[in-house]
Structure 1
């Protein structure tokens, strides 16, 4: 894994009121911060991703050009690098890890951005999937700090259908008797395998499978694709870490921001940032229709639907054509005043 650093948060009070002792926020940086601190970009991680999963957009000459911008990639609580069930000592270890909200992640990131780097304005906040949820939350929580946002294959609030999808994943993982209520001595391998196979049907589109696109990747059939790609994707993850991130995802909603009383529409209407919203045309759990709804409630927001067969995974650079589309959109957004 490429290098990352740790920002110590001390005893961190969560939105739930619980205090997470000795909380840690992992992050990686790319490029150099300008003397006037005007070139900062924040790019939070997605579900079951670390900073490395974001590096496809970062570097000299890439859309997030490190010859021009200073890119900060903070890790989600629960991803094994920031405070997580697998790394937190009792009494908050394993399944006893407290519920962490998207807003808790954003507040920790705000402490990092302002306290460690002295950044008062961010040129861009972007992210894919759960990173998109954090992006929306940044724009609502800090409307005068965020100049531009680019939520990619994600949403401002977790829809009921998306919550059902997550319940299916949770059931597959915890049905393994080895899970033992979260106090497993050995990883629940059968549960992780089932989790991976359920995810395989959601992460990619029907058309991806209709057209046997997996054959273009060198896999002769579906079983080989499942065992060669999907099972390794989640097989080495700590089960409690996955469940903690899923819980954060499941309860995401910008309407819960203090002052909005659960009104998601009002929260979206408060966004001042220039918004370019980039859903995947074939995403099964963040469909473009949902983001049309969000875009219609943000003044001046632009919706650009990514043309791809790769479903949700298009937001992570898996499809070269989708990656080029997203990269071009980000360059254009950053070039706008």
Structure 2
């Protein structure tokens, strides 16, 4: 659908840069693999070419946490499953931020007086969402794999090798589920992309709540690719 929109509705035949964070990083990989002659440069930030086994299990734990709320009723809820969503946010808080973030009293950086209040940050992000929409996003995330198509037939190495775009693969150093080592392995296969880690105590959140010095690293990467 995105390809149809870009090519037919907007008449675009060449994309200078595809950049995305988290699931957007998965999409950046997908664009670069599926349309190698179209995408000139790409930057996945805190994202991999395939949902890893560990990442899949983390996501499954989040889905199960939400679904255990009786009010959720297998998705047929008559009222908002607040208890399940608050539990979802509590579990996810421990994954989104790194151990070092909390060692350095990261909750105070978020504006909270105690660690017990830290889940309120993600409550502000996710509770306005429809829980079924979140589950749909989780299932899409779990199934992410740039080689799962008739072109690459499940061969991830072949899919990565087919990417001709220049790029920077940019995890944070403390992301707990888009692991930097997975990106290092990908970069060794990619013909024209380079691994560039973002030093950060913020874990996965460092890709979107980046501090000025971290944003500068991303800005410099963009400038190197497209000027």
> What TM-score, normalized by structure 1, do the two folds share?
0.66
Higher helix fraction: Structure 1 or Structure 2?
A: 2
CA contact (8 A) 1:310 1:319 kept: no
Q: How does 1:269-284 map to 2 (within 5 A)?
A: 269-284=161-176
Distance 1:128 1:170 in 2: 21
Q: Which residue of 1 aligns with 2:27?
A: 134
Q: Is residue 255 of structure 1 aligned with residue 159 of structure 2? A: no
Residue aligned with 2:147, SS = helix
Q: Which residue of 2 aligns with 1:334?
A: 226
Distance 1:202 1:319 in 2: 19
Q: Which residue of 2 aligns with 1:223?
A: 116
C-alpha deviation, 1:236, in angstroms? 1.5
Distance 1:200 1:217 in 2: 12
CA contact (8 A) 2:167 2:194 kept: yes
Residue aligned with 1:140, SS = helix
Q: Which residue of 1 aligns with 2:103?
A: 210
Could you list the runs of 5+ residues in structure 1 that have no partner in the other structure? Answer: 1-107
C-alpha deviation, 1:267, in angstroms? 0.5
Q: Residue 45 of structure 2: which of 138, 152, 161 is its match?
A: 152
Q: Is residue 181 of structure 1 aligned with residue 74 of structure 2? A: yes
CA contact (8 A) 1:151 1:278 kept: yes
C-alpha deviation, 1:316, in angstroms? 1.1
Deviations 1:56-87 (A, max 9, x none): xxxxxxxxxxxxxxxxxxxxxxxxxxxxxxxx
C-alpha deviation, 1:247, in angstroms? 0.4
Distance 1:237 1:217 in 2: 21
Q: How does 1:64-103 map to 2 (within 5 A)?
A: none
Distance 1:217 1:285 in 2: 21
Q: Residue 94 of structure 2: which of 201, 218, 223 is its match?
A: 201
Q: Which residue of 2 aligns with 1:294?
A: 186
- Figure out how many residues of one structure are paired with residues of the other and give that number: 227
Distance 1:319 1:113 in 2: 32
Distance 1:299 1:178 in 2: 50
C-alpha deviation, 1:315, in angstroms? 1.1
Distance 1:267 1:258 in 2: 11
Q: Residue 213 of structure 2: which of 315, 318, 321 is its match?
A: 321
Moved over 4 A (4+): none
Q: How does 1:2-17 map to 2 (within 5 A)?
A: none
Structure number with greater CO (CA < 8 Å, separation at least 6) is: 2
Deviations 1:127-184 (A, max 9, x none): 0100011111101111100000001100000000000001100110000001111111
CA contact (8 A) 1:257 1:267 kept: no
C-alpha deviation, 1:213, in angstroms? 2.2
Distance 2:213 2:87 in 1: 30
Distance 1:257 1:170 in 2: 26
Distance 2:95 2:212 in 1: 20
C-alpha deviation, 1:333, in angstroms? 1.7
Change (3 A) 1:125 1:273: same
Higher strand fraction: Structure 1 or Structure 2?
A: 1
Residue aligned with 1:296, SS = helix
Could you list the runs of 5+ residues in structure 2 that have no partner in the other structure? Answer: none
CA contact (8 A) 1:141 1:257 kept: no
Q: Residue 6 of structure 2: which of 110, 113, 116 is its match?
A: 113
